[in-house]
Amino acid sequence: MGLRTPNMNSETIQLESTAIRNGAIELEWSDKSHNRFHPIWLRDNCRCVECGDPAIGYRSLQLTSLDLNQVPRNLAHTPGQLRITWEDGHESCYAASWLAEYAYDNGARAARAFIPEVWNDALRTSPPGYDYSGVADDDTGLLQVLQQVRDHGICFLHNAPAQTGVVEAFSQRFGFPQESNFGRVQDLVFNPQRRSIANDIKSLKPHTDEPYRASPPGILLFHCIANDQTGAGSSTFVDGFEIAERLRAHDADGFHALCNNFTSFRRHFADDVDLIAEFPIISLDQFGNLCGVRINDRVAAAPLIAPDQVEVYYRGLHYLLQQSEDPQLIMHRTLKPGDIAIFDNHRVLHGRTDLTVDGERWLQWVQIERGDFHSSLRILADRLGQPRDARPLMKGAYGSPACGTGL
């Protein structure tokens, strides 16, 4: 029999029949597919007024008060609802659309997972972009931008005011700027007297920012305020998921070595910070889909991995870094005053080529936490009456389930 997979237009789903088989409650849908639910799962997820709804922080039902082996006394259904009377007399009602959305068999969970679409030459040539005026105060435009960042990891805005504070104010439309040792808003100003390479104009190979943090910056926004660039040079962007998939296709063992072994990253400024984090370079979800990368060999410490993994680990890393530097896979963009680059730091690598600047180059940089970003995607969709996406999208570069660090 066929197993039903989630359908985001689940209002059309209708229940045909219900039955208890082998200790589970089996639902048959109008398309003749099936889903099975454990009684304890359904009882624990009752959302009636008496039990409460944990989504809003109110939950009076306590799992410890339930009999793990209780079974329904009675099942009843309509095309749009399942009603269960439990042995203790409690009655629970579940909308058919809710059951379809939260079905948890392997096929349903795999179909619910977010599968990113990697870049191609067309996207590198013409990346998603919008005029700032159509986004700054318009929810529909903002939702489109956030969806582009969700789906492709990057989006550009053009013609924003080339003034300080603009990017911070704009970022607050979908999150809260994160503070770090660099501050709340970082100014990247060409100044050869400062030690940070971010303030230089020499080439900088593609990388993800701050992998030495337990939780690296999520969504990055770079706002160009001034750029007296007189010659060649550009900002560069690489899809970390594209190069990871190329590694998977080229060398499966090398790919899995970067998924299953922890790499140490460190940033140490004497008497300031000494940040160390150990995570895999490539993170997967439980179904093997890419969900994050940490690629920055400038801050990689000596890896402490099993001896039998060293050669295959370095083979995989060597190929991955080669791909990150492949000219055919790099997006080049010369940011002009008023441009804002928005990208997912857990997916997209950024850098620059050698720049020729006769005067000032000034970018302001802000970071937004990934959870706030995904929350705003859902809230905006609700506000605009569009289908919302309740999935835990793109968990980020926090390791794979096999490493014991999956979220």
Q: What is the 3-state secondary structure (H, E, C) of 155-214?
A: EEEECCCCCCCHHHHHHCCCCCECCECCECCEEEECCCCCCCHHHCCCCEEEECCCCCCC
Helix, strand, coil shares of the chain, percent, nearest 5, are 30, 30, 40
The pLDDT tens digits for 30-73 are: 999 999 999 999 999 999 999 988 777 778 899 999 999 989 99
Superfamily of domain 121-403: Clavaminate synthase-like (3.60.130.10)
- Output the pLDDT for position 405: 38
Q: Tell me if 10-112 shares its fold with 121-403.
A: no
Q: Does residue 114 surpass a pLDDT of 90?
A: no
Q: Does residue 347 surpass a pLDDT of 60?
A: yes
89 sits in which H/E element:
none
Section 106-121 average pLDDT: 90
Q: Report domain extents, the chain.
A: 10-112, 121-403
For the beta carbon of residue 38, count every other beta carbon within 10 angstroms.
Answer: 13
Lowest pLDDT segment from 11-15, 72-76, 370-374: 11-15
- Output the pLDDT for position 402: 57
Radius of gyration (Cα) for the chain, nearest Å?
25
| Residue 267 near residue 273 (C-beta atoms within 8 A) | yes
Task: Read off the pLDDT band of 269 (50, 70, 90).
Answer: confident
What topology does CATH give the domain 10-112? NE0471 N-terminal domain-like (3.30.2020)
Report the distance separating Cα 210 and Cα 38, nearest Å.
Answer: 43
The pLDDT tens digits for 217-246 are: 999 999 999 887 666 678 999 999 999 999
Closest CA to 353 of 384, 332, 323: 332
The pLDDT tens digits for 125-170 are: 999 999 999 999 999 999 999 999 999 999 999 999 999 999 999 9
Section 208-222 average pLDDT: 93
- Output the pLDDT for position 6: 45
Report the distance separating Cα 379 and Cα 394, nearest Å.
Answer: 17
Report the distance separating Cα 28 and Cα 268, nearest Å.
Answer: 59
